[in-house]
């Protein structure tokens, strides 16, 4: 075939361009693509839900038609939309829409927060949790174990009479951050049938004042009297909660959320999608104990579409650090008879008590398979990757052993299975290299470093802390790192969806106050480029979605985050600035789902989510104690 005359070829190209002009063109940006073919660019052209082209501003302007919106980014930083691999949407929504009392330890703000929640929630719905007083302890000392200086004056203890007047139509049942002391208002006490004459159940206390009147404070088993009358949240309230989480995601540049999804959550996502309100893509992870039902229905890994996709089954080996339930070979320093505990899905074990007899020389596979292994086999056969939580070094050993045996027996060793270890928080030195040998994904939560380092060495000692959140060792061991916020965090701290906290923590290993200056075990820091990859490209790959997203390249979904400062440059030279970075635009599927208003220009207005009092972030920075790191 003869080559077309040059002029004709040009005019054909012009016709093609005119037939499909870009819908949105972004020019004059610092575009960090994470695409090895073109790591940096200046501009993007988006058409439909895809990226049409990446290049210079002049090239991209040519793709604009009369109806194209062109945004001059004036040097703003552009990256692939963030993919938060670990969100508890249900709990985050409950916290955002309900009442957040983490930073409250005095009467006036306590009353104001409850009043605010009552105004947001439909009449009759319960106001729950709250976790008051968390930063009272923080300010005084370590996170919850040692009594702080202010404890001598007595910790803040509310009384129902503070809030009865502001919550006449809502039962309130909130707790202190240690979840051992609860406050019920008049409505909640009435619904629970608790009167002044009600006897306290064994192991519980119903607190009364000097006149014998109920203060609303319930301790221990007495809380069950209220708990048992709390109905599951209604569907409308769930939608309100998911909307609140989506809003926080948009404001943080998060375009995909990997959730630990219940059936109710999945229903809510579908409803919001039908209504056009889903502004982040959701990777769905039901619990592993459902694996047989899901497999029986024929659903396999990847089922769904670009918005809602089944990517894994979630399970747990051990507990968490916060309540010293993560499973270790050696006991906790502050609790010498305790080395942690197993989660329910582990039972029955192949041999009763097997895990608890293991030493650092042992392997769990010397025992017959238990319940977790049986379920992982079901997952393996259905093609849905297991995503299993393991925190302590023994917890991780058990999971690696189980994965190794099942991968071997199912003929999957060496294949591209992308099974995940969630948290991989404390790994025995012998086990890092197994991540590479078994080709595992380590789904880690960098913000835990900034938060937990304050008390970590006190609990597990300096030696074991060396292998805590050891991202460099995991990477060197061959793990693919994937970041998640673990929002809403622990009962002592809120973890935000905004990725800047995780980027900062991974790159500096410092508290929000910047301590210790050299970083906590600084050899485990990641570069900002590695951290950005673990928050974008990594999680897309881990969910088998690397063909769709994770980099800015032609043909990929147009999921984009735009910040006011260059995150790469800040991460390299002034990492504290990462914490001040603000999202200017968030784009999902080619649509602008968030556009910062002029408010972004004022300082101190970082938190705009409902339910979070303004200044919570500032409070957390101000009140976070200095590092207790002994180095
Ligand atoms: Zn979690």
> Of the candidates 351, 345, 349, 360, which has an alpha carbon nearest to the alpha carbon of residue 390?
345
Q: For residue 241, how far is its CA from the centre of ligand 1 (angstroms)?
A: 18
Exposure pattern of 247-285 as b/e (b: 16+ CB <10 Å)?
Answer: bbbbbbbbbbbbbbbeeebbebbeebeeeeebbbbbbbb
Whole-number pLDDT of residue 608: 33
Q: What is the distance between the alpha carbons of residues 618 and 605, in angstroms, rounded to a whole number?
A: 10
What residue has token string 């508290």? 511
User: pLDDT band at residue 236, thresholds of 50, 70 and 90?
Assistant: confident
Q: For residue 137, how far is its CA from the centre of ligand 1 (angstroms)?
A: 23
Q: What is the distance between the alpha carbons of residues 576 and 507, in angstroms, rounded to a whole number?
A: 10
520-536 average pLDDT score: 98
Whole-number pLDDT of residue 177: 85
Say which residues have a Cβ less than 8 Å from residue 547's Cβ, sequence separation at least 6: none
Beta-carbon neighbour count of residue 14 at 10 Å?
11
CA distances from 545 to 304, 309, 418, 527, 557 (A): 12, 10, 12, 24, 10
Are 502 and 447 within 8 A, CB to CB?
Answer: yes
Q: For residue 493, how far is its CA from the centre of ligand 1 (angstroms)?
A: 13
Whole-number pLDDT of residue 323: 81
Are 487 and 501 within 8 A, CB to CB?
Answer: no
Order of strands across the sheet that contains 591-595: 40-41, 30-32, 77-80, 560-563, 583-588, 591-595
- Radius of gyration of the CA atoms of the chain, in A: 26
Assigned token pair, 12:
């054909």
pTM: 0.86
- CA–chain centroid gap for 561, Å, is 18
Give residue-wise pLDDT tens across range 482-502.
999 999 987 778 899 999 999
At residue 510, φ and ψ (nearest 5 deg) are -120, 160
Q: What is the distance between the alpha carbons of residues 305 and 591, in angstroms, rounded to a whole number?
A: 18
418-441 average pLDDT score: 98
Of 181-195, 229-243, 280-294, the one with minimum mean pLDDT is 229-243
Q: Does 602 score more than 60 pLDDT?
A: no
Torsion of CA 376, 468, 478, 510, to 10 degrees: 130
Q: Where are the beta strands (DSSP E) in 311-385?
A: 313-316
Q: Does 11 score more than 80 pLDDT?
A: no
Whole-number pLDDT of residue 8: 46
Q: For residue 539, how far is its CA from the centre of ligand 1 (angstroms)?
A: 16
Whole-number pLDDT of residue 591: 97
Are 394 and 329 within 8 A, CB to CB?
Answer: yes
User: pLDDT band at residue 598, thresholds of 50, 70 and 90?
Assistant: low
499-527 average pLDDT score: 96
Whole-number pLDDT of residue 629: 22
Share of the chain above pLDDT 70, in %: 89
Say which residues have a Cβ less than 8 Å from residue 612's Cβ, sequence separation at least 6: 96, 100, 494
Q: For residue 591, how far is its CA from the centre of ligand 1 (angstroms)?
A: 30
Sign of CA dihedral 483, 487, 491, 493: positive
Are 96 and 244 within 8 A, CB to CB?
Answer: yes
Q: For residue 423, how far is its CA from the centre of ligand 1 (angstroms)?
A: 8
Q: Which residues pair with 205 in a beta bridge?
A: 219
Whole-number pLDDT of residue 613: 31
Q: For residue 74, how far is its CA from the centre of ligand 1 (angstroms)?
A: 38
Q: For residue 6, how far is its CA from the centre of ligand 1 (angstroms)?
A: 59
Share of the chain above pLDDT 90, in %: 80
Give residue-wise pLDDT tens across range 133-191.
887 755 433 333 333 334 445 789 999 999 999 999 999 999 998 888 999 999 999 99
Q: For residue 315, how far is its CA from the centre of ligand 1 (angstroms)?
A: 11
Q: Does 5 score more than 80 pLDDT?
A: no
What residue has token string 């790469």? 568
Beta-carbon neighbour count of residue 81 at 10 Å?
29
Whole-number pLDDT of residue 553: 98
Q: For residue 87, how far is its CA from the centre of ligand 1 (angstroms)?
A: 7
Helix axes 89-97, 235-252, angle to 10 degrees: 100
Q: Does 119 score more than 80 pLDDT?
A: yes
Give residue-wise pLDDT tens across range 322-339.
888 999 999 999 999 999
Whole-number pLDDT of residue 610: 31
Q: What is the distance between the alpha carbons of residues 141 and 477, in angstroms, rounded to a whole number?
A: 36
Q: For residue 234, how far is its CA from the centre of ligand 1 (angstroms)?
A: 23
Whole-number pLDDT of residue 137: 59
27-50 average pLDDT score: 98
Give residue-wise pLDDT tens across range 553-594.
999 999 999 999 999 999 999 999 999 999 999 999 999 999
Whole-number pLDDT of residue 149: 37
Q: Is 519 helix (H, G, I), strand (E, B) or coil?
A: coil
User: pLDDT band at residue 471, thresholds of 50, 70 and 90?
Assistant: very high
Give residue-wise pLDDT tens across range 305-317.
999 999 999 999 9
Of 141-145, 193-197, 286-290, 303-307, the one with minimum mean pLDDT is 141-145
Residue 340 DSSP symbol: -
What residue has token string 């005019």? 11
Sign of CA dihedral 271, 276, 277, 279: positive
Q: For residue 88, how far is its CA from the centre of ligand 1 (angstroms)?
A: 6
Q: Does 622 score more than 60 pLDDT?
A: no
What angle (nearest 5°) sits at the alpha carbon of residue 344, between those of residues 433 and 88?
75
């Amino acid at each position: 075939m003869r080559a077309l005359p040059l002029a004709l070829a040009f005019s054909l190209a012009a016709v093609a361009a005119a037939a499909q002009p870009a819908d949105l063109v972004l020019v004059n940006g610092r575009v960090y693509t994470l695409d090895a073919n073109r790591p940096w660019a200046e501009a993007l052209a988006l058409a439909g839900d895809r990226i049409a082209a990446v290049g210079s501003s002049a090239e991209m302007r040519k793709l604009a038609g009369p109806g194209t919106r062109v945004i001059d980014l004036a040097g703003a930083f552009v990256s692939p939309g963030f993919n938060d691999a670990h969100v508890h949407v249900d709990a985050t929504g409950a916290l955002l829409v309900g009442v957040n009392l983490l930073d409250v330890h005095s009467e006036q703000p306590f009353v104001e927060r409850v009043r605010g929640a009552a105004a947001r929630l439909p009449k009759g719905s319960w106001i729950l949790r709250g976790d008051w007083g968390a930063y009272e302890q923080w300010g005084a000392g370590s996170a919850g174990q040692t009594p702080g200086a202010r404890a001598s004056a007595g910790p803040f203890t509310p009384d129902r009479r503070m809030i009865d007047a502001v919550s006449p139509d809502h039962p309130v049942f909130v707790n202190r951050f240690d979840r051992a002391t609860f406050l019920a208002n008049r409505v909640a006490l009435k619904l629970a049938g608790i009167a002044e004459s009600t006897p306290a159940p064994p192991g519980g206390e119903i607190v009364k004042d000097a006149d014998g009147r109920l203060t609303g404070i319930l301790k221990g088993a007495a809380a069950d009297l209220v708990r048992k009358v709390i109905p599951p949240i209604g569907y409308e309230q769930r939608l309100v909660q998911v909307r609140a989480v989506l809003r926080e995601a948009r404001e943080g540049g998060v375009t995909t959320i990997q959730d630990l999804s219940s059936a109710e959550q999945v229903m809510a996502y579908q409803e919001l999608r039908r209504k056009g309100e889903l502004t982040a893509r959701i990777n769905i992870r039901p619990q592993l104990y459902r694996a047989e039902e899901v497999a029986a229905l024929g659903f396999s890994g990847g089922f769904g579409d670009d918005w809602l996709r089944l990517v894994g089954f979630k399970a747990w080996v051990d507990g968490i650090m916060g309540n010293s339930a993560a499973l270790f070979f050696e006991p906790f320093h502050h609790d010498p008879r305790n080395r942690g505990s197993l989660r329910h899905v582990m039972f029955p074990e192949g041999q009763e008590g097997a895990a608890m007899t293991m030493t650092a020389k042992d392997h769990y596979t010397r025992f017959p398979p238990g319940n977790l292994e049986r379920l992982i086999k079901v997952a393996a056969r259905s093609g849905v990757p297991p995503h299993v939580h393991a925190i302590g070094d023994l917890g991780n050993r058990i999971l690696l052993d189980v994965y190794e045996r099942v991968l071997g027996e199912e003929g999957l060793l060496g294949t591209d299975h992308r099974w995940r270890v969630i948290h991989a928080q404390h790994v025995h030195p012998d086990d890092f290299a197994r991540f590479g040998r078994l080709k595992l994904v380590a789904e880690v939560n960098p913000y835990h470093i900034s938060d937990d380092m304050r008390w970590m060495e006190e609990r597990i000692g300096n030696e074991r802390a060396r292998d805590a959140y050891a991202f460099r060792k995991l990477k060197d061991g061959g793990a693919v790192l994937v970041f998640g916020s673990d929002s809403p965090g622990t009962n002592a701290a809120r973890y935000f969806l905004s990725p800047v906290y995780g980027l900062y923590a991974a790159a500096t290993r410092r508290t929000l106050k910047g301590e210790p200056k050299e970083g906590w075990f600084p050899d485990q820091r990641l570069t900002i480029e590695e951290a950005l990859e673990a928050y974008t490209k990594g999680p897309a790959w881990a969910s088998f979605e690397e063909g769709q997203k994770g980099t800015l390249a032609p043909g990929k979904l147009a999921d984009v985050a735009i910040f006011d400062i260059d995150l790469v440059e800040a991460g390299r030279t002034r990492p504290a600035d990462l914490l001040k970075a603000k999202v200017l635009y968030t784009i999902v599927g080619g649509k602008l789902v968030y556009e910062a208003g002029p408010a972004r220009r004022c300082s101190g207005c970082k938190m705009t989510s409902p339910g979070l009092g303004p200044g919570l972030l500032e409070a957390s920075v101000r009140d976070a104690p200095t590092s207790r790191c002994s180095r």
